[in-house]
Amino acid sequence: MALRIRHLLGLDGVSREDIVQILDVADSFHEVLEREIPVVPTLRGKTVVNLFYESSTRTRISFELAEKRLSASPVNFSVSTSSVSKGETLRDTIKNIEAMKIDMVVVRHGAAGVPYFLTQCTDAVIVNAGDGLHEHPTQALLDMMTIRRKFGRLEGLKVAIVGDIFHSRVARSNAWGMKTMGMKVVLCGPPTLLPQHPESLGVPVTDDLDEALGKADVVMLLRLQLERQSSGTFPSIREYRERFGLDLEKLSKLQDNVLIMHPGPINRGIELASNVADGPHSVILEQVTNGVAVRMAVLFLLGGGENEKEVVI
Ligand code: CP
């Protein structure tokens, strides 16, 4: 069955059925990626523009790899080498790119709502690769894929998302998506870095780390977004690390099979100690691997594919 959505702008409002379908197809693509030649012809002839107005390592490279693995034609756009540096507007940029006959646009931008704005300017399918403080839906999908592959289910699992929640589009997308999938999500951080209207996310928030970590199956640390802080959001890096950073001592009090996750990039020694990030509970690099499969699934399903059986050719 086709997805109910035409674009992937966020996980707010995306149905359980659509999320399950994306994760099932992503599992099939995970098998494709294990092959000697990890390429399928499913998006041959489709052109995908990667429109990145903000820096990225994981998201940008994994979208481009996903497009290549699907035999699509990726085109990369970066602000510094484009006519944006000459003052061209976003609307003119997308209209000109569309005039060259494209099928899909993957967009990352510092302003919330840009992916939606693009749906009003072009007939191409739009995929949000992160918009301001709003959403980062493919990150949340790859996070759920990683958890599901480890536990065999999502429903009923407790996930503590810890850190700079206020600035985190990853936390928002995970809160929406995980709640839809029946998971128990708790958001934890210093009061100044918690959302101003937490009720809109529909999950509990707390500044009590012990409460958040109690009986957690998964702990997801978030990067302290030092570039987006206004002054006074926390007293000092040292105090932040002591209260909210995860080190071996705090890890020793968690469940034996707890998963440690981080969307990257990591501030090593601030939100996460290196020996925890690189330790046996960490699935951080598996998240990155699964990101390619999830992005293949999203592009495939929004690009016209309908089900798992079409994947493995
Ligand atoms: N997780 C994530 O979005 O990383 P990048 O900023 O490197 O893409």
Task: Output the pLDDT for position 309.
Answer: 64
**Residues shown for the chain:** 313
Indicate the domain borders of the chain. 16-135+288-308, 137-287
| 16-135+288-308 against 137-287: fold identical | yes
263 lines ligand 1 (CB under 6 A): yes
Q: What is the CATH number of domain 137-287?
A: 3.40.50.1370
pLDDT for 276 beyond 60:
yes
- What's the pTM? 0.96
Burial class (CB in 10 A: 0-12, 13-18, 19+), 143: buried
C-alpha 95/C-alpha 150 separation (Å) is 43
Mean pLDDT of the chain: 95
Q: Give the CB-side neighbour count of residue 167, counting CA atoms within 13 A.
A: 16
Atom 4 (ligand 1) nearest CA: 58
Atom of ligand 1 nearest to the CA of 59: 8
| 137-156 mean pLDDT | 98
Q: Is the pLDDT of residue 221 over 90?
A: yes
The predicted model gives 47-73 an average pLDDT of 97
Contacts of 136 (CB under 8 A, 6+ apart): 59, 128, 129, 130, 169, 170, 172, 173, 263
Strand locations in the chain (E):
47-52, 73-78, 104-109, 125-131, 158-162, 184-188, 205-206, 218-221, 259-261
Residue 139 CB less than 6 A away from ligand 1: yes
**pLDDT digits 0-9 by tens, 166-184:** 999 999 999 999 999 999 9
Give the percent of the chain with pLDDT over 90. 88
Residue 246: pLDDT over 70: yes
The pLDDT of residue 313 is above 60: no
Q: What is the pLDDT of residue 50?
A: 98
What is the reported pLDDT for 254? 98
Distance 224 CA to ligand 1 centre (A): 13
- Is the C-beta atom of 56 inside 6 A of ligand 1? yes
Is residue 179 within 6 Å of ligand 1 at its C-beta? no
Q: Cβ(58) to ligand 1 under 6 A? A: yes
How would residue 85 be classed by pLDDT, with cut points 50, 70 and 90?
A: confident
Pick the residue whose CA is nearest to atom 5 on ligand 1. 56
Ligand 1: centre distance to CA 270 (Å): 18
Q: Are 223 and 163 in contact (CB under 8 A)?
A: yes
Instruction: Compute, in angstroms, the gap from residue 188 CA to the centroid of ligand 1.
Output: 21
Say which CATH topology domain 16-135+288-308 has: Rossmann fold (3.40.50)
Cα distance between residue 84 and residue 302, in whole Å: 28
State pLDDT tens for residues 3-25: 999 999 999 999 999 999 999 99
The stretch 203-223 carries a mean pLDDT of 97
Mutate to test the pocket of ligand 1, among 51, 59, 169 (most ligand atoms within 8 A of CB): 59
Give the strands of the sheet with 73-78, arranged side by side. 73-78, 47-52, 104-109, 125-131
Confidence check: pLDDT of 96 > 70: yes
